[in-house]
Amino acid sequence: MIVLGIWDGHDSGAALLENGRVRIAVNEERLTRRKLEIRFPALAIRCCLDFGGWRPEDVDLVAYSTGDLSKTLARWAPFTKETYYQIRRRKLAPSHLHRTEKRWKYWLTTLPGNRVSEMLSDEAMRRRLVELGITSRRIVLVDHHQAHAATAAYLSGFDSASVVTLDGVGDGLSATVSVYSGGRLERLEETPASDSLGVFFEHVTNLLNMRELEDEGKVMALATYAYPIPD
């Protein structure tokens, strides 16, 4: 059983599983040499297949994540991702309308997906895969936070656990709390994307004149070196 996992958003990449075991995973940035690549991970997918000598037709199932309205739009209009990437990386000066565009983007990311957006995402993904010779009929769209929670739960080594996801945005949510037991995940609570702590920290990073979706780690590291201030 060959499963190809794809992430085609911020810091895109691919992974390949054989009979439930991860054989290889690679981020597209390693191959394009563009940090935190946002383009479709075509090179990463080819790298995964070449690693084990697999052919595109050997892929039994393709799994990818996030079918909200914002991500669906980006799949059909990838130039919107590229423009935002260039501005964020300080490669392109923002236009006079950038502030308005950014507010529109944030609003759009808070909207969850629906059957129409998911169908459109499936079709966009299928077209990109056909270009690579992958014609598997089984394409599975995985909920954004379910993917994060599954990674934590199934690799934890625990038989049961509480699982918390905290993210910027994804499928209309920013955080979830689930219970893992008996190999299954049951979601108990969730926080909408409009109340995202991740996006709040993104704004903090920006106010410090650093790049959002990239320098948040630097901000956290610098905080550990701050002098204590009497409260």
Identify the structural domains of the chain with CATH numbers, from first to last: 1-142 (3.30.420), 145-217 (no CATH)
Kindly report, residue by residue over 153-209, the tens digit of the pLDDT: 998 999 999 999 999 999 999 999 999 999 999 999 999 999 999 999 998 998 998
Q: What is the layout of strands, in order, in the sheet containing 184-192?
A: 160-170, 173-181, 184-192
Strand partners, 74: none
Mean pLDDT along residues 141-160: 95
Please provide the average confidence, as pLDDT, over all residues in the chain: 92
Cα 46 to Cα 151: distance, rounded to the nearest angstrom: 23
Mean pLDDT along residues 212-224: 86
User: Euclidean distance between the first and final Cα of the chain, in Å?
Assistant: 58
Kindly report, residue by residue over 81-134, the tens digit of the pLDDT: 888 888 888 888 887 777 787 788 888 888 888 999 999 999 999 999 999 999
pTM: 0.88
| Cβ–Cβ < 8 Å for 198, 167 | yes
Position 213, amino acid: L
Reference 37, options 101, 82, 92; nearest CA is 82
Cα 57 to Cα 55: distance, rounded to the nearest angstrom: 5
